[in-house]
Structure 1
Amino acid sequence: MKQKIINKIHHVAIIVSDYEKSKDFYVNKLGFEIIRENYRIERDDYKLDLKLGDCELEIFGMKGNPKRLSRPEACGLRHLAFKVDCIEEVIKELNKKGIETEPIRIDEFTNEKMTFFFDPDGLPLELHE
């Protein structure tokens, strides 16, 4: 048996264009818990550490970064996916909060329900049942 050298993913980091808008989206609309929030004078940016279950998300609020390429897709992070128990209920809650979602479709490989929505910078976020 091959020895495991990595245990699990600790966190994912994203750069956002509007720190307050993204903080509101991930904390107040999606329910992430704030672990730490820091302003870094030397970089003139914010670093927000969030938690959802046993995974962490780092948000960096920086000014002047280029927009993310979505179409055509560029190399790098494609999307973040969240596991949910009932996709219809989660979609209903997101829609109540003004977050639009794509129609539900079936993942051709897992045969499970899935859909996408987007964060304030257009980063694709997936719901997967």
Structure 2
Amino acid sequence: MSDNTVSGVIPMGYLIEGNTFYSYEKKSLISIGSSRKGIRLRSTQSNVLEYLLEHAIESFVTDEELMLNVWEKNDLRASTQRVWQVINSLRLKIQELGISDHFILRVSKKGFYIRESSIRTIYCSPAQNHQHVEV
């Protein structure tokens, strides 16, 4: 999770395309206003999604950057094939909740990015941090 705070509040997750919440604490995607259930992400999937949400908003994140900051920082073996596999499995999971297949975009020879208009950071004050979204 990002260390950035805004006016004494801490980020608790992201609202994606207005209908899905990603929870840092639960490492889950939670559908809002739908009968669809939440989806808990695997560790590497959540690390990739968090890294993209924190660094790929209207800017590119390369495969090499993901391998260094997600795989190597977690003592995992990195490869471009593994990045591709995790991104594809992540895309399939987010599509199950109705998120556009264009949410995580890839531009050849540049990297991945996310349109700023498709996400909103959700904050809570430290005093409210005890309240949790259930999956």
Q: Please, what TM-score do these two structures have when normalized by structure 2?
A: 0.29
Q: Higher relative contact order at CA 8 Å, sep ≥6: structure 1 or structure 2?
A: 2
Query: Which one has a bigger Cα radius of gyration?
Result: 1
Q: Please, what TM-score do these two structures have when normalized by structure 1?
A: 0.30
Query: Of Structure 1 and Structure 2, which has the larger fraction of its residues in helix?
Result: 2
